Structure 1
Amino acid sequence: MPKNFEQYYAKMRNIEDVVPSIFEKVAKKSGIKIVNEAKDKTDQEKLVDTGAYKRAWHADIGEIKQKFWVVRCLNSMDYASHLEFGHKLKNGKRWKGRFVGKYALEKTLEFAHKELEKELGSLYKKD
């Protein structure tokens, strides 16, 4: 722990320099996590039997502004939105969606928050 203001200031400046790389690292881990969660949930729901829907999940990680990261997850199958949000059937009834993407997003947000707390906490505790 810093003993005086100058040491504390120097430590905070060092943390400021390292934080963007931590956010990038967590964004990359989150991209992998969200795809894995979506694939696992697809298996659990048994929505389709060909495996094409499961294989179509992918994520892009990109820097949208300097030091700000975004993770985009999508499924490129034509029918993905119907499985996610539901659709109307020929008999007039409605088939309820399974919210695979929403579930994966919620799990990944929990993961990202824990990872950031762990990474930033360990960074602050270093002397």
Structure 2
Amino acid sequence: MRVTGTAGRPRHRAAGSTTSSTGCPGTAIEHACLADPSAYALMAEYGTFLVPTQYVQTYFLARLDDESLQEEQPPKMRHAYRRYARDLREGLRRPAGTDVRIAFGTDAGMFPYAHGR
């Protein structure tokens, strides 16, 4: 995890899906793909924004059987997507049923996007 900010005032924290990260002085948590309801409750309580990566998750989950794409990814990543596919799919919908505030972010560059031009 990293904390960034100016003048000693953290404004942003990038994290995965840990509930302990909501106790930070930062105001946003990125990804949280596997966060559970208790993590979202803490985020709502602290006023922490969620910056989800919906498209990236959707993109890779929809292509689990695309061998040409899978061959381009590191084995660890391929294994993780296959192992956690069900939990990741559930995690895509989970934030909508919470009181957590959602902000926009992008992981452009993690997937082909030229086709949208």
**TM-score scaled by structure 1?**
0.25
Structure ID, larger Rg: 1
